[in-house]
Structure 1
Amino acid sequence: MITSSMMISVIIIIMITALNMISKKSTYDREKSSPFECGFDPKNSSRLPFSLHFFLIAIIFAIFDVELTLFLPLVLLTKKLSSKKFLICISSFFIILLYGLIHEWKEGALNWVN
């Protein structure tokens, strides 16, 4: 058992070493990595600027959207819990959501113009 697993390991190591030696090594070529524009050098950058603030707003929206989907099953708790426990459960959920929104607001993540 041990000898067969050692033999397999040796064969794998030999194959990896041989493939690394035979494989074509690619070198960095500036012409191949640059964007092609009818044979001329490009006038502008091919990449558009990325708004990190827009990405942050999208992430915050996704987080609050997921929390909203967590709110929907709370309706099923109305049958199982008394009205006092249900009110405590919903109010604590809303307090956590409101705290997160206030925190993001104070951090300036919701201000579009900085």
Structure 2
Amino acid sequence: MTHSTFAHPYFGAFALFVLTFGAFGITLFLQRIISNKIASKSREKLKVSQYECGVITNKQQNKISSRYYLMALLFILFDVEIIFMFPWAVSFKTLGIFGFIEMILFIFLLAIGFIYAWRKEAFSWGSMK
């Protein structure tokens, strides 16, 4: 053999992965032991009752509007697209006029998507039922 097994370029990353996995396992094991020793085992009615104030909770019905998910999806979509502008701004001088035209086209397509969502009233909360 002409080379050592420790000379592999990813050996350090693998070693850190193994050490991290081991440390996580040991920490989890110790946490379970310590919490079982420290935790109170009494199940008195007073200790399991509500703390300070508040009404007794009942099971809540899941009536979350689909507009909530649509708003979250649009936020993530436009947020991720805006993040694409940062590398462009950093290398603006090296990209030249071609990069500028590409970004104008990108912003134009973003605006079309925004106007489409606006026209479909995806941003309005008032029409929720």
Question: Which residue of the partner structure matches residue 74 of structure 1?
Answer: 88
Q: Report the residue type matching 1:66 in the other structure.
A: V
Query: Residue by residue, what CA displacement relative to the aligned partner does 1:32-84 show, whole Å, maximum 9, x if unpaired?
Result: xxxxxxxxxxxx763231121122111100110111111111123323222x2
Contact (CA 8 Å) 1:78, 1:86: kept in 2 or not?
Answer: yes
Q: Which runs of 5+ in 1 are unaligned?
A: 1-43
Q: Which runs of 5+ in 2 are unaligned?
A: 1-57
Contact (CA 8 Å) 1:77, 1:86: kept in 2 or not?
Answer: no
Number of equivalent positions: 70
2:101 corresponds to which of 77, 82, 88:
88
Is residue 51 of structure 2 the alignment partner of residue 47 of structure 1?
A: no
Identity percentage of aligned residues: 29
Moved over 6 A (4+): none
TM-score by length of 2: 0.48
Question: Which residue of the partner structure matches residue 114 of structure 2?
Answer: 101
RMSD of the alignment, in Å?
1.8
Q: In structure 1, the residue corresponding to 2:84 is in which secondary structure?
A: helix
If you compute each CA radius of gyration, which structure gives the higher value, 1 or 2? 1
2:101 and 2:118 map into 1 onto residues whose CA distance is 25
Q: In structure 2, the residue corresponding to 1:46 is in which secondary structure?
A: coil
